[in-house]
């Protein structure tokens, strides 16, 4: 498997997302951004799986899952 392969899947529930930007602010890798007042994934390959976004989201709108290897 190439080292650049994406290892984590980030799921954002657009119904639950309130656009508070916490996830974007806490992500150390700039994986997330805001689009039309909702969180979106812009750099999925940079995700380290730290789960800070999931932890800080007050609306439980983000789930980070490790991909099967």
| CA dist., res. 67 & res. 6, Å (int) | 8
Contacting residue, 52, 63, 66, 68, with ligand SF4 by CB under 6 A: 52
Pairing relationship of beta strands 8-12 and 62-66 according to DSSP bridges: antiparallel
> Which is nearer to ligand SF4, 1 or 6 (by Cβ)?
6
**Interface residue with ligand SF4, options 9, 33, 40, 51 (CB under 6 A):** 51
DSSP 49-65: ---HHHHH-TT--EEEE
Footprint on this chain of ligand SF4 (rule: CB under 6 A) = 10, 12, 17-23, 26-27, 29, 31-32, 39, 47-53, 57, 59, 61-62, 64
């Amino acid at each position: 498997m190439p080292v650049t392969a994406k290892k984590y899947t980030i799921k954002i529930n657009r119904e639950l997302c309130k656009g508070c930007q916490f996830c974007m602010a806490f992500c150390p890798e700039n994986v997330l951004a805001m689009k039309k007042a909702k969180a979106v994934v812009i750099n999925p390959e940079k995700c380290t799986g730290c789960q800070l976004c999931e932890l800080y989201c007050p609306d439980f709108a983000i789930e980070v899952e490790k991909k099967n290897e």
